[in-house]
Chain A
């Protein structure tokens, strides 16, 4: 037996060593050692001006650019060669011109001059592009097990007619092809993987993909609408990861991430290498509208337009932190663990879930909604406060102890009329009903939220200034739909409104659930109160902080990284990626980072076609059970704008919801406050999730029983294996 083991080990070592030797040749002598971290070493090649990082644990080399020794660059064009041998690429364009051409500058080409300066544990590279009149500097250093690349704002130099548009950071770090066993992780929705070997299953022609961090950089109604319609997700977390064989790296945009985007080019797009990288914007382009008088066309309906870039530079520090992993940590679970640790260390995530707490049942009550009619819109009271209390009591009678209840559509005009009005609609019970319900909730230990939207505004609702309170595009036009009815609120105005709202509910013990602010940030070209994306982000944080100063809890829709420090609950957290052709697997990366810290829910369970599948997915993704209910029947909603709630009567759902609550608390309570440390897909229908206390959960979505690790997992079922049980 021992002999056999020995042979196997030798065999494994042999194959791996051959593999590594094949895939990653040793660094040439030109590279000199700059700094050493705990497990990694930073090298610099003064001839090519490129860096490389060695993971000393297994000798793997991460190169910042494509080495001609590894990748045959013969026959590639000059531009591509420059592209592949550049650590940084700048985009720039002429200022004040219509439709300026975006030009690129490569740090690996002759057009740039580089000055190198060594520091204590790294080096500073000063780049200058004389022809464009643009220069910047990159500070590279080793910090523990991570590499930090920083582009300080004060070192950006612009002289002349060109303006810096963006900088791409090390596009070819870790670039690999289909021969390598690995994948790229990108934070599309919950997270998704693009596996290198799956290139053969993809369409013949592919394109480069781009995710703007925290929501689209282009502020445009149609874009939002399109994303919503096709359920396209943004990057909620400013991270991406690369796994190459036994090594992996996670890149975190740790500063100025709101102006960043994640670009991913699959193998075959200009170069036969899979690559992913950050790009930071310094200027946005915006559409300018020209009237039809300048154009001699006859097409009156179509507004001819052009683009221009911002006059002012968006001066932000940008920093990327690369954390290296190897061995059994070299996968997306390892990346999630590393990112969670980073968030905890830097105090960027709050721990809400206390030890021993129950898993709460999340219920939304849709209270009122309006049906547009001939003379007067009809207000449909779906659930008034009395009825909400009645349903809550029924839940309590059933034995449900821990509930998080969210009220929507309580104000005049009902749900979906923004900005929200105060006071409470009298047809729902008015302030009196509200008070008695909130007191009832408090007595019974129920966490109660009022859902409020401080981002959207509808013209038909009024109560805001269409000139002063709304977000404007670069052209000076307000961001709006074709009917000029839908607007976004300027962040400063949103803040003022929140203050007013808090004053109104000063005497009630109730939390606020913010719609949308965990989903997007935007650039506002308002002349008096302009906001950059980062400033908007900071404003949202201030708003969350403001609520926390006065109220005990705050919930947020969406999960953009900046809300993790404040939110007591996240809702509307996606469980699906955008599902582009590069997506080979959707993974609960976001959930792995957040589980055990903040409770989160996804879509309501009553709107899915199969409650068993929904439950399994909730368990796999660690969501809290969540339903959106009403007292009246959903048929009342048929003619309203909210007819997507096609079944909601509490009578049909109360037992189902209670059962799920009990099931969750009976089976999953022990892991509720634990981190989700490993997630893996074992086979097409079987998933395994491991928690920080060692508990394992196997989930089988298939129609057949599966045996795994000596356990039988029933069809469409799950099992929980506590540590040491096997």
Chain B
């Protein structure tokens, strides 16, 4: 436990009393956070808690090798504080977010501008970074993009075709989720959790449900945890397969794109077999799961799963067999391992830079305490690596699912929760298909939500896309973007 001192240690999916969380003067909090980050911790969340005129900062770190989370908070802060970002760039968006929400200025932050607020109708109106010089020009794309895709604005600084810098400006999708959670949970809360990022419904709903269970001191029945783990892998399989198809489409390799588009739907239909909804809506709630897998349904699931996994692997093998595909992805959109570590990438994007980071393995909670899928890593940091990691994860997820289905646990699928404990904080990390989903819940003296902080993996990873574009050409943007496939609404909240 010394390893996280002076922060308080806690494990993923657990509760800590508010008074047990060590509180420091802000300069001290910044300094100790910085020291722990130097020792290899990762910044999971850094957010402001505002009550009346008082602002205080809460910091959640992950010590991956120790499977521990560490938490601390600041005493009320006013005006400004020394920025973490110059030493630890992974804090840059968190500090911008805190500034946007509270006005607290991180001194010496290199690029302080809003994250998602709406200035004069469009969030992109804040000034962009500009490059000057002969032959330098700007390309502006969005918010409405060419395909059926969510909105965001991309501003490229180019010299000829070469991209010198890409700035990504989001906020168009902001629906006010966190703000309206105060005083909750409300009847709509679980539905909002499922639609934070609609393709990650299972991961976000699991994180929320686990937090509420931790706050009330009751664990969901084991069978519910098993069902959640199955649904999480089905979500990963569907999205990874879709991504492989989308990558193939963008390099005009139609056999794989046609097949994967269909197989993605097949995986979504397996989630619908489980709960009626292709995205897993309505399956998970605080206390357990709403639908069970009775023997005949489990049999159908197993049979279809085997077929679809084999289909997906065949279609993806065509992709890797084609030299024209491999050559198009090699050495394009590179994020170096050191950059990935500095900006705090998570999920497949981090694993494609050789970082061994996977919440299922590093911070097991729920069913993953008893069984883990191996972590799939590829070192090269380019689009090829991101496609490779997805391919490996489709294999590993498939194997994992088949194995877990055999290890079915009997028992009830839900339990009744007592009311959440007052003056507490709970943290849950879940490895969604894009990476680490982090939810932090804080309760007030009545056990109602005093604050609820959501960090979608995309919040960490959009900067990775911006870095990947440097030195590539504008026409490489679509394949780079697909190789990350990040969430706009998960970022905008």
Partners in one complex: no
Q: Which residues of B contact A (CB under 8 A)?
A: none
Q: Which residues of A contact B (CB under 8 A)?
A: none
